[in-house]
């Protein structure tokens, strides 16, 4: 299945969230943003606003949203370890049930297999992570869905 738009998300729930919108038709990043939130609700509402704008301007394109999954390791020090799983659940519901887009979670370690974006757009760390999930999908699963 060929997706026209692929949205990569590096979710935080609380803290810095990264989003990249990639056009599979032009092989270009159309949009990138990092936004900081103080609550999971604020994060969910901002994602919903972005999704509404995407839907308004996407002309019924086939869209895949890839969200970085969450794994807590013993080496991680997190101030609110439940915020990220909460926003991932909220994103899954928004993407699948409200916007009827395809949803995929990607393991955090998969982004380590992709080189940083080196084009003409300056991406933050969180946008780089979101971009890497898009590229991992394109490299490994593009023809399987």
Residue 49: count other Cβ atoms within 10 Å of its Cβ.
10
20 near 4, Cβ under 8 Å? no
* Residue 67, in any domain of the structure: yes
* Residue 145, in any domain of the structure: no
The number of distinct structural domains making up the chain is 1
DSSP class of residue 80 equals -
* Residue 123, in any domain of the structure: yes
Question: What confidence score (pLDDT) does residue 119 get?
Answer: 87
The residue ranking higher by pLDDT, 72 or 102, is 102
Backbone angles phi, psi at 68, to 5 degrees: -65, 125
* Residue 105, in any domain of the structure: yes
Task: Give the residue-averaged pLDDT of 42-71.
Answer: 93
Query: What's the N-to-C CA distance of the chain in angstroms?
Result: 5
- % the chain with pLDDT above 90: 72
In this structure, what CATH number is given to the domain that contains residue 22?
3.30.420.10
Give dist(CA 72, CA 49) in Å, integer: 28
10 near 24, Cβ under 8 Å? no
* Residue 40, in any domain of the structure: yes
* Residue 120, in any domain of the structure: yes
Would the pLDDT of 113 be above 80? yes
Give dist(CA 125, CA 39) in Å, integer: 21
Tens digit of each residue's pLDDT (9 = 90 or more) over 67-97? 999 765 666 565 566 888 899 999 999 999 9
CA dihedral 117, 23, 29, 141 (to 10 degrees): -20
Would the pLDDT of 125 be above 80? yes
* Residue 90, in any domain of the structure: yes
The tokens describing 60, both together, are 């019924």
17 near 46, Cβ under 8 Å? yes
Residue ranges making up the domain that contains 128? 5-140
Averaged pLDDT of the chain: 90
80 near 99, Cβ under 8 Å? no
pTM: 0.90
Task: Give the residue-averaged pLDDT of 111-120.
Answer: 89
Question: What confidence score (pLDDT) does residue 80 get?
Answer: 63
* Residue 52, in any domain of the structure: yes
Question: What confidence score (pLDDT) does residue 15 get?
Answer: 92
Would the pLDDT of 143 be above 70? no
């Amino acid at each position: 299945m060929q997706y026209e738009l692929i949205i990569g998300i590096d979710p935080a729930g609380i803290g810095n969230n990264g989003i990249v919108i990639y056009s599979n038709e032009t092989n270009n990043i159309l949009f990138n943003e990092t936004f900081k939130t103080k609550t999971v609700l604020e994060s969910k509402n901002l994602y919903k606003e972005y999704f509404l704008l995407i839907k308004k301007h996407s002309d019924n394109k086939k869209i895949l949203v890839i969200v970085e999954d969450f794994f807590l390791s013993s080496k991680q020090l997190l101030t609110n370890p439940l915020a990220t799983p909460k926003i991932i659940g909220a994103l899954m519901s928004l993407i699948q049930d409200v916007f009827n887009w395809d949803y995929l979670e990607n393991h955090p370690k998969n982004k380590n297999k992709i080189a940083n974006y080196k084009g003409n757009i300056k991406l933050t760390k969180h946008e780089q992570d979101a971009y890497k999930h898009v590229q991992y999908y394109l490299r490994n699963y593009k023809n399987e869905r």
